[in-house]
Chain A
C-alpha cells in the first residue's frame, strides 16, 4: 500500500476545538498504537483517519458497528459485501452460501467462538461481540486496520490471542489502546495523545512504560 499523509487534522465539538491541528504519516508495514487518557482524543483521531482512508481501511469502532439481530456469520460477511454483486449478497442473506460459511468458520475458531456462527449478535456476551467485530475486520482483508480499543472486553490471554491475530493479518494498523503493555508488545510505533495534541511519537524499541505513563 501507499503511505498515508495527514496534514493539519482538526476536530471541534460545539464550536470548541478538541483535537489538533495534527499532522501524521503512516508508513506501510507499521503497527501503530494510539495511547492516552480517556477523553484525550484517540477515538476522534481514529474517526478522522477513517474518513481519510475509508476506501482501503477496515474499522473496528468502539461501538463495534454490529447488526444486533443478524447472526455472527452475516455480521462477519458484511466485511466483504463490496466484493460481491448485490444479488449474491441478497441470496447469501436469506440462504447462507457454503463457500462463505467455510471461509468464516476457521476465523471464528481462531477467535474462540466457533459455536456462535449462527447465533444472533444480540444474545452474545460483551467479549463475544467484540470478537465478532474483529472477525469482520479480519475477513475484510483491507490494506489497513483501524481499531478503537478492540480488546477492552477481553481477559488477559484472549487479549493476547486477538492482538496477535490482528498484527499477523494486517501489515499496517492503527490501534487505540489503553493497556500500555499490549501497546509495547504488539506495536512498533507509539503515538501518545494528550489534550488533542500529539505528545509522544516514537518507535517502541526506544520506549519504556515510564515514558508513556505521564500521558495518563
Chain B
C-alpha cells in the first residue's frame, strides 16, 4: 500500500456516507430553461456594463469600508483576547462567538440596531475577534521562549512582552491579519444580501431585474479588487485605510434604543415565559421547536455538508493540476490561476444565490457552490504544495505522474486541508438556508420573518453548538491521521 491504510479507510468512510446522503438529499433542477439563463449570465459577464459606475463605485466603497472597519475592530479585540487565552472561559467564549456566522450576527443586530452601520461592523468584528484570538494566541505560543527565559525576573511584564515576544511574532501576526482581510472583503460583500449597503445588495437588485451586464461588472471589479489586494493594501497604507474606513460606512438609519431594550427584555424571551405559561409551556414550546425545526434543520445541514465535503475533495483533486508546474506550460497554468482565483474569490453564498436563480430551489445549487468555492481554495493550496515537490528527471508523465508521483505525496496535506474546512463548510451550509434551502439558516430566517426572535435565537444557538461539535470531531480525525497544516486565511 502506498497510502497509510487509515487515510484510505477514512476516505472510504466519508465517501460512503456522502453516497448514503445523496439518497436523502433533494437534488433537482426545477426551472424550465436553466441553461438559457446560465448562457444569459455568461453573456453578461463578457459584456460587463461599467456605465452605472456611481452605483458600482458606492457598492465597492461600502464593501471596503465595512471590511476594513470590521476586521480592524476584530483584530484589536482578538489580540486582547489572545493575551488571556489561557483561561478556559475565554477559549470557550471565543469558540462560541466564531461558531456563529457573520450573517447570523447581522440578522441578530438588524433586529435592534436596524440598518445602522454598527450592525455590519459588529457582524464582521465579533466572529473575527474569536478567530483572531485563537490564531494570535497560537502564534504567540509558537514564538521562541528562550529570550524570555534569559530576562531577569525583575523585568516588568509589559517590557518583557514587548521586547522578548512581540518582535518575532509580529511578521506572522501581520501575515495572518492581511490574509484575514481578504476573507473580510468576502464577508462584507455577502452582508449585502441581508440589506446592508455592500456588494451583495447591489448584486441581488441587479440580478432580480435581469441586468446581467451589471452583475458582470460588479463581479469583475470585485475579482480585480481581491486579485490586486497585495498591490493596494501595502502595510504602510493600512493605518490610513483603517482610519478612513469608518467615514465611508454610509449613514444607514439611526438606532432606536427602545428597540434594543425591547429585544433583550421581551423579544428573545421564549414566548411561553413571556405569556406566563410556566415550565410546562416552555417544555412544550421547546419540544415543538426541536421536532419541527431544529431536527429537520440539523438533518438537512448534515446531509448537505457531507455531500459538499466529498464533492469539494473531488473538485480539489481535479483543480490542483491546473496550477501545478508538473503539468502543462506557463500559459495553461496562467489560465488555471485565473479559474482558481475566480472560484475562491466568489463567496459560496454568491455562487449559491446565482445557481439558485438559474436552477430553482433544491440542495443542488448549494452543493455545487460549496464545492466550487472550497475546491478552489484547497486546489490553490495543494497546487502550491505540489510545486515544492521536485520529481526525478525521468518521472512518468500525464496521468501516471498524477497517480504515482504526486497524489501519494499530496494526499495527507489534501486530507488535512479538507478536514480543516469541514467546519467552515458546515457553517456555510447552515447559512445558505437563508436562500431557501431547508438547512438551519432557513428555519432561523423564517422565525425572524415571523417575528419569533425567541425561536430564532434558540436555532442560532443550536447551529453554533453543531459547529463546535464538528470542529471537535475534525480535530480528532486530524490528530488521528497526524495531519498538521500551517495556518491559512481559511483554516482558523
**Stretch among A78-86, A103-111, A160-168, A183-191 lining the B interface:** A78-86
B169 to chain A, nearest CB (A): 9
Contact A86 B158 (CB under 8 A): yes
Contact B164 A67 (CB under 8 A): yes
Contact A78 B162 (CB under 8 A): no
Cross-chain pair count, CB within 8 angstroms: 72
Contact A90 B146 (CB under 8 A): no
Contact B168 A67 (CB under 8 A): yes
Q: Is A32 an interface residue (CB 8 A)?
A: no
B155 surroundings in chain A (CB, below 8 A): 81-82
Contact B153 A67 (CB under 8 A): no
B2 surroundings in chain A (CB, below 8 A): none
B154 surroundings in chain A (CB, below 8 A): 55, 82
Contact B146 A81 (CB under 8 A): no
Of the residues A61, A66, A90, contact of B158 by C-beta under 8 Å: A90
> Chain B at the A interface: mostly helix, strand, loop or mixed?
helix
Q: Mark A79-118, 1 if CB is under 8 A from B, else 0.
A: 0011011100110010000000000000000000000000
**Stretch among A13-21, A34-42, A68-76 lining the B interface:** A68-76
**Shortest beta-carbon contacts, A-B, top 8:** A65-B146, A82-B154, A65-B150, A89-B159, A82-B152, A81-B155, A69-B167, A82-B155
Contact A67 B156 (CB under 8 A): no
> Count of A residues near B, CB < 8 Å?
27
Q: Is A54 an interface residue (CB 8 A)?
A: yes
Q: Is B24 an interface residue (CB 8 A)?
A: no
Q: Is B210 an interface residue (CB 8 A)?
A: no
Report the Cα distance A137→B230, complex, angstroms: 42
B283 to chain A, nearest CB (A): 53
Given contact pairs A61-B146, A86-B158, A81 touches B152 in the complex (Cβ within 8 A):
yes
Q: Is A31 an interface residue (CB 8 A)?
A: no
Q: Considering only CB atoms, which chain B residue lies closest to A55 in the complex?
A: B153
Report the Cα distance A216→B156, complex, angstroms: 42
Contact A140 B167 (CB under 8 A): no
Report the Cα distance A55→B154, complex, angstroms: 7
Q: Is A178 an interface residue (CB 8 A)?
A: no
Contact A89 B163 (CB under 8 A): yes
B146 to chain A, nearest CB (A): 4
Q: Is B446 an interface residue (CB 8 A)?
A: no
Report the Cα distance A85→B160, complex, angstroms: 12
A34 to chain B, nearest CB (A): 18
A44 to chain B, nearest CB (A): 14
Contact B163 A66 (CB under 8 A): no
Of the residues B146, B149, B163, contact of A74 by C-beta under 8 Å: B163
Report the Cα distance A65→B144, complex, angstroms: 8
B317 to chain A, nearest CB (A): 38
Contact A140 B152 (CB under 8 A): yes
Q: Considering only CB atoms, which chain A residue lies closest to B169 in the complex?
A: A69
Q: Is B239 an interface residue (CB 8 A)?
A: no
Of the residues B149, B152, B162, B168, contact of A68 by C-beta under 8 Å: B168
Report the Cα distance A58→B147, complex, angstroms: 12
Report the Cα distance A66→B147, complex, angstroms: 5
A65 to chain B, nearest CB (A): 4
Q: Considering only CB atoms, which chain B residue lies closest to A77 in the complex?
A: B163
List 28 A-B residue pairs with CB atoms under 8 Å apart, sorted by A's residue number.
A54-B152, A55-B152, A59-B150, A63-B144, A63-B146, A64-B146, A65-B146, A67-B163, A67-B164, A67-B168, A68-B144, A68-B167, A70-B167, A74-B163, A78-B151, A78-B164, A81-B159, A82-B151, A82-B154, A82-B155, A82-B156, A86-B159, A89-B156, A89-B163, A90-B158, A90-B162, A93-B162, A93-B163
Contact B170 A69 (CB under 8 A): yes
Q: Considering only CB atoms, which chain B residue lies closest to A66 in the complex?
A: B147
Q: Is A136 an interface residue (CB 8 A)?
A: yes
Given contact pairs A55-B153, A59-B150, A65-B146, A90 touches B167 in the complex (Cβ within 8 A):
no
Given contact pairs A65-B149, A78-B147, A90 touches B164 in the complex (Cβ within 8 A):
no
